[in-house]
Structure 1
Amino acid sequence: MKRKKVLFFIYQMGAGGAARTLLNIINNLDRSKFEPVLVTLDYNSDYEANVKSDVTFIKINEKRLRNAIFPLAKLIRELKVDLVFSTIPNYNTIAILANLLSFTRAKNIVREADNLSGGFLTDLKLRGYGMMYKWASQVVSLSEGVKQNLIQRYKVKSENIKVIYNPVDLKNIRKHMNEGVLAEEHLPIFHGEEKVIITAGRLVKQKDHQTLIDAFAKVHKQINSKLVILGEGPLKDTLIKQTERLGIQDKVHFIGFQNNPYVYFKHADLFVLTSIHEGFGHVLAEALATGAPVVSTDCASGPAEVLDDGKYGLLAPVGDVNAIANNMQEVLTYDKEKLDRVKEAGYKRVEDFDARQIADEYGALFTETMAR
C-alpha cells in the first residue's frame, strides 16, 4: 500500500507546546502508512534536533507568516501531499488558504490548542477563525473544554470536531529523566534540606507566575523551600522585582529554558502550574510522568481533564493565592506512603496520553479524513 504524504505546518519548531505536540505526533506516526513532511518558516529552533531523521524537513525562505501562503501552496502541489495538518489559529488560517490555492485534492486538518476567550473584539476574531475552519476537512480539539469553546465562540459545529488529547512521549521523557543530569551551576539548588517547588512555562501573563510567587512566599514562611522557574519571556524582570519586594529573591531561581526539563522535574518535590487558561496543560502530564506531585489551577480547560478533577493532583481556583499556597503546603507535607501512592497514580494516569497511542488516534483520523 502506498504511504500517504502528510504535511505538518508550523511557524517554527520553538520551545512551545504546539511545536512539542507536532514533534510527538510526527515522530510516532506509523511509517508503514504515512510519510511525514515538516514545513516551517526560516527560523532555527529548539526542537529541530529532535525531529527524526526520516522526516522530510523543509524551511520556507520567509520569516513573515502571511508571506508563506503561496510558497506553502506550491509545496503542497509539488510534493503531491495527501493531507495538510496545522495547529493554532493563525497557522491554521495560512494552512487552509495555502491548501485551497494549491488547487489539489489534499485534505486539511486544523487543531485548536487553547481555550481562547475575551471581549467583543476577541469574540469577533474567534468567529472569523471559525468561518475559516469551515474550509477545513476536520477540526481537532485537544480537550473537551476546548471543544466546547470552539462550539460556543468559534461557532464550529460539534459534529465537525474530534477530541484527541495531547501526545506525551513517555519513552523520551523517561530516557531524558534517567540519563540526563542537572547543569553543574544548578546542583546547589537541588542538593540540600529545602523542599524544591518547580514550574515550567513562558514568562507571560497567561501562566500567572505572579500568583505562584505570592503563594510561594506564604509557603516559604511555613516550610523551608525554594522555587525554581523554568522558561523565558517578557515578564522576567517584573517577576524578579516581585521576588525582591517580597524579600524572597534568594529563594526563587530563574533558570531559563532547559532542553531537558524532565531531569529537573524528577529532582523536585512538587510541580505547580498557575495558568489563567490552558488548552490541555501538557506540562502537567509531563510532570506526572517524572513522578512529581502536581498542584494546578482549575483553569479552562485542560488541567481538570488531565488530573481527572483532582484525582491525580490538587486543583485550586485561578488567581487564588491562599488556596494555591494551601495545596502546595499539603503536598509538601505528605508522608512517604502517601507520596509513593501519588507518584504511582501519576505514572498510571499518563499512560492514557502515551504518544504512541495518541499518534495512532491521529493516524486513524488521517486515514478516515482522506477517505472522505
Structure 2
Amino acid sequence: MEKIKIVFFIYQLGSGGAARTMLNILNKIDRSKFKPILVTLNYTGNYEEYLKEDVKFVKLSTTRLRSAILPLAKVIRRENADIVFSTIPNYNTVAILANLVSFSRAKNIVREAAFLGGSFTSNLKLLAYGFLYKLAPSVIALSQGVKDNIVKRYKVNPHKIKVIYNPVDIEWIHSSILNGKIHEQYDSIFTSKEKKIVTAGRLVPDKDHKTLLEAFAKVNKKFNSNLFILGEGELENTLKHKAKQLNIQDKVHFIGFQQNPYIYFKHADLFVLSSRREGFGHVLAEALASGTPVVSTKCKPGAVEVLEDGKYGRLCEVGNADELANKISDVLSYNTEELHQVVSRGLHRVEEFDAKVIVKQYEEVFMRHATHRISDRN
C-alpha cells in the first residue's frame, strides 16, 4: 500500500507541550504506513535536534503567521499530501485556509489543546474558529474537558471530536534520567537533606507562580526546603521581586529552560503545578513518569483528569496559597511506605499516556480520513 503523506504544521518545534506532542508523533509514527513532513515558520526550535533524520523538514521563508498561508499551500500541493495536521487555534486556521487555496484533496485534522474562552470577546473568537473547524473531518481534543469546551463554545458537532491524551515518551524520560546530570551549581542542594520542590512551565500569568511562591514561603517555615522553577517567560523579574518580598529569594532558584527537566523531577521530593487552567497538564504526566509525587491545583480541565480527581496526586483549589501549602506539607511528610505507594500508582497511571499507545490512536484517525486518497491512487 502506498504510504499516507501527512503534512504536520506548527509555528516552531519549540519547548511547549504542543511541540512535544508533534515531536513524539513525528518520531514514532509507523513509517511502513505513513510519510511525515514537518512544516514550520522560519524559527529555530529547541526540539529540532531530537527530530528523526528521516522526517522531511520544511521551513517556510516567513516568521509571520499571516504570511504563511500561500507558502504552506504550495507545500501541501507539491507534496501531494493526504492529511494536513495542525495544532493551536491560530495555526489550525492557517492550515485550513492553506489547504483550501492549495486546491488539493488533502483533509485537515486539527488538534485543540487549550481550555479557552470565558469572556464575550474570546467566546466570539472561538465561534469563528469553530466555523473553520467544521471544514475539518476530525477534531482532536487532548482531554474530555477540552472536548466539552469545543462543543460548548466552538459549536462543533461532538461526533467529529475524538479525545486523545498527550503522548508521554516514557522510554525517553527514563533514558534522560539515567544519562542526565544536575547542573553543578545545584548539585550540593540535591545531595543535601533539604527538601527539594520543583515546578516547570512558562513564566506567564496562567501558570500562577505567584501563588506557588506564597505557598512555598509558608512551607519553608516548616521544612528546610528549596524551590526550583524551570522555564522562561515575561514574568521572571516580577517573580524574582515577589520572592524577595517574601524573603525566600535564597531558597528559590530560577534555572530557565532545561533540555532535560526529568533529572530535576526525579531527584526532587515533589513536583508542583500551580496553574489556573491546563488543557491536559503534560508536565504532571512527565513528573509521574519520573517517579515523583505531585501536587496540583484543580486547573481545568486537565489536572483533574490526569490525576483522576486526586487518585494519583494531591489537588487543591486554584489560587489558594494556604491550601497549596498544606498539600505540599502533607506530601513532604510522607513516610517511606506512603511515598512508595504514591510513586507506584503514578508510574502505573502514566502507562496510559505512553507515546507508543497514544500515537497508535493518532494513526487510526489519520488512516480513517486518508482511505479515499489511497484508493484513488490505486
TM-score, normalising length: structure 2? 0.97
Looking at structure 1, the residues matched to 358 and 254 of structure 2 have their Cα atoms a distance apart, in angstroms, of 33
2:349 aligns with: 349
* Aligned 8 A contact 2:4 2:370 in 1: no
The alignment yields a C-alpha RMSD, in angstroms, of 0.8
Looking at structure 2, the residues matched to 68 and 185 of structure 1 have their Cα atoms a distance apart, in angstroms, of 42
Task: Quote how far apart the aligned CAs of 1:277 are.
Answer: 0.6
2:108 aligns with: 108
Task: Quote how far apart the aligned CAs of 1:191 are.
Answer: 2.1
1:209 aligns with: 209
1:255 aligns with: 255
Task: Quote how far apart the aligned CAs of 1:225 are.
Answer: 0.7
Does residue 338 (structure 1) correspond to residue 338 (structure 2)? The answer is yes
The runs of 4+ residues in structure 1 deviating greater than 3 Å are none
Looking at structure 2, the residues matched to 25 and 297 of structure 1 have their Cα atoms a distance apart, in angstroms, of 28
Report the AA paired with residue 16 of structure 1. Answer: G
Task: Quote how far apart the aligned CAs of 1:157 are.
Answer: 1.1
Task: Quote how far apart the aligned CAs of 1:337 are.
Answer: 0.6
> Within 5 Å, which residues of 2 pair with 1:16-165?
16-165=16-165
What is the identity percentage for the equivalent residue pairs of Structure 1 and Structure 2? 58
Task: Quote how far apart the aligned CAs of 1:7 are.
Answer: 0.7
Unaligned runs of 5+ in 2: 373-378
Looking at structure 2, the residues matched to 173 and 3 of structure 1 have their Cα atoms a distance apart, in angstroms, of 30
Task: Quote how far apart the aligned CAs of 1:160 are.
Answer: 1.3
Task: Quote how far apart the aligned CAs of 1:118 are.
Answer: 2.6
Looking at structure 1, the residues matched to 300 and 356 of structure 2 have their Cα atoms a distance apart, in angstroms, of 26
1:13 aligns with: 13
Task: Quote how far apart the aligned CAs of 1:305 are.
Answer: 0.7
Looking at structure 2, the residues matched to 206 and 371 of structure 1 have their Cα atoms a distance apart, in angstroms, of 40
Looking at structure 1, the residues matched to 149 and 212 of structure 2 have their Cα atoms a distance apart, in angstroms, of 26
Task: Quote how far apart the aligned CAs of 1:192 are.
Answer: 1.1
Does residue 307 (structure 1) correspond to residue 307 (structure 2)? The answer is yes
Looking at structure 1, the residues matched to 139 and 150 of structure 2 have their Cα atoms a distance apart, in angstroms, of 9
Looking at structure 1, the residues matched to 67 and 186 of structure 2 have their Cα atoms a distance apart, in angstroms, of 42
Deviations 1:186-237 (A, max 9, x none): 2123121210000000000010000000000011111111100000000000
Report the AA paired with residue 336 of structure 2. Answer: K
Q: What is the aligned residue count?
A: 372
* Aligned 8 A contact 2:10 2:40 in 1: yes
Deviations 1:260-280 (A, max 9, x none): 000010110000001001000
Task: Quote how far apart the aligned CAs of 1:182 are.
Answer: 1.1
Deviations 1:313-333 (A, max 9, x none): 001010011111111000000
Deviations 1:1-38 (A, max 9, x none): 11111110000011111101100111111111101110
Unaligned runs of 5+ in 1: none
1:327 aligns with: 327
Task: Quote how far apart the aligned CAs of 1:358 are.
Answer: 0.4
Looking at structure 2, the residues matched to 185 and 197 of structure 1 have their Cα atoms a distance apart, in angstroms, of 16
Q: In structure 1, the residue corresponding to 2:344 is in which secondary structure? A: helix
Looking at structure 2, the residues matched to 347 and 54 of structure 1 have their Cα atoms a distance apart, in angstroms, of 32
Report the AA paired with residue 143 of structure 1. Answer: S
Q: In structure 2, the residue corresponding to 1:222 is in which secondary structure? A: coil
Looking at structure 2, the residues matched to 243 and 93 of structure 1 have their Cα atoms a distance apart, in angstroms, of 40
Report the AA paired with residue 74 of structure 1. Answer: K
Report the AA paired with residue 193 of structure 2. Answer: E
Task: Quote how far apart the aligned CAs of 1:300 are.
Answer: 0.8
Report the AA paired with residue 247 of structure 1. Answer: N
Does residue 4 (structure 1) correspond to residue 4 (structure 2)? The answer is yes
Looking at structure 2, the residues matched to 94 and 122 of structure 1 have their Cα atoms a distance apart, in angstroms, of 18
Deviations 1:162-199 (A, max 9, x none): 00000000111110011111121221231212100000
2:375 aligns with: none
Report the AA paired with residue 89 of structure 2. Answer: P
Q: In structure 2, the residue corresponding to 1:260 is in which secondary structure? A: coil
TM-score, normalising length: structure 1? 0.99
> Within 5 Å, which residues of 2 pair with 1:240-279?
240-279=240-279
Task: Quote how far apart the aligned CAs of 1:299 are.
Answer: 1.3
Task: Quote how far apart the aligned CAs of 1:44 are.
Answer: 0.8
Looking at structure 1, the residues matched to 121 and 181 of structure 2 have their Cα atoms a distance apart, in angstroms, of 47
Report the AA paired with residue 152 of structure 1. Answer: K
1:228 aligns with: 228
* Aligned 8 A contact 2:269 2:292 in 1: yes
